[in-house]
Chains A and B, each alone.
Chain A
């Protein structure tokens, strides 16, 4: 996890518009507009604003994000975080106090099995099943269609999706 190259910090008064790519952690305290692609963690601090198509491994939102976020591991919206846009990630954490508007797609949620009524089995299965799949598969799928996360088809799916959204209460 420790980056030998150090981490990148975008200071409060800085505006970057365009595309930003990198292989290290990025902390945004200023503004970034355009596209943002990282192979590591993006942290948007409370003073930070990101208006971009974001593709990262992990994303922690304590500031403002407007745009779609695709993460290969997790997206966390903290209590100060505000976000408008779609999230596509195997793990999505929305803390009490966070504000969010948009879709969430956790990829490998097995809707078909849920529909067939094997609910008790699903309740036990999804976590371990999701983890290994999350490493390899969603990544590939996301690269092909980064901006269009596929939505589970019907309201039936919402039960399955919702269970994965971890809402921490204080």
Chain B
């Protein structure tokens, strides 16, 4: 029980954090924000926001509403809302989203598809 009290953090809504020493090989899916400081290989399928922090390494295809990348991502990203590549991030793969932001200092290789409706 003591261990449980120590680990429990205040429940700030639905919030998932994958810590820096964690390695996940497989599939992650869910309906809440996900913060990744560790390594994930496989597939990520979310209905909310994904934050890849600077220590985060992702080798996976990503499907979410929002993505914010400060770490490394190898794989295709499909977002229904927005993809933001922050300075110092490294991204290799295709990005498809209506809004894509690439900050100064970001490294990116791949295709960008903003899915422009009506060819405007």
Residues of A in contact with B (beta carbons under 8 Å apart) = 1, 3, 5-27, 30, 34, 41, 43, 45, 58, 60, 62, 76, 78
Contacting residues of chain B (12-36) with chain A, CB-CB under 8 angstroms: 14-34
30 contacts between A and B (CB under 8 A): A1-B6, A5-B19, A6-B37, A7-B19, A8-B22, A11-B15, A11-B30, A11-B34, A13-B32, A14-B16, A14-B28, A14-B32, A15-B30, A16-B28, A18-B42, A19-B23, A20-B22, A21-B22, A21-B23, A21-B24, A24-B20, A24-B21, A24-B22, A25-B6, A26-B19, A27-B7, A27-B8, A30-B16, A34-B26, A60-B1
In the docked arrangement, what's the CA distance between A7 and B16, Å? 10
A15, B29: Cβ atoms under 8 Å?
yes
**Contact with A11, one of B16, B19, B26 (Cβ below 8 angstroms):** B16
The reply to whether B14 and A13 form a contact with Cβ atoms under 8 Å apart is yes
Contact in complex: A8, B18 (CB < 8 Å): yes
Structural contact, A24 and B19, CB atoms closer than 8 A: yes
Distance, CA A9 to CA B4, complexed state (A):
12
Q: Which of B4, B26, B38 contacts A8 (CB 8 A)?
A: B38
A84 to chain B, nearest CB (A): 21
- Chain A residues within 8 Å of B33, by CB: 11
CA distance A25 to B37 in the complex (A): 14
The contact size tier of chain B is 20 to 34
A13/B22 in contact, CB under 8 A: no
For residue B28, which residues in chain A have a CB less than 8 angstroms away from its CB?
A: 14-16
In contact, A12 and B3 (Cβ under 8 angstroms)? no
Smallest CB–CB gap between A46 and chain B, Å? 10
Q: Is the CB of B32 within 8 A of A11?
A: yes
- A56 to B67 Cα, complex, angstroms: 32
- List the A residue with the shortest CB-CB distance to B30: A14
Of B9, B21, B38, which is within 8 A of A9 by CB?
Answer: B9
Query: Is A43 a contact of B4 with CB atoms below 8 Å?
Result: yes
Cα of A1 to Cα of B5 in the assembled complex, Å? 13
- Bound CA span A7–B20, Å: 9
- B23 engages A22 (CB within 8 Å): yes
Bound complex: CA of A130 vs CA of B21, how far in Å? 30
Is B24's CB under 8 angstroms from A20's CB?
yes
Chain B, residues 38-78, CB within 8 Å of chain A (1/0): the string is 10001000000000000000000000000000000000000
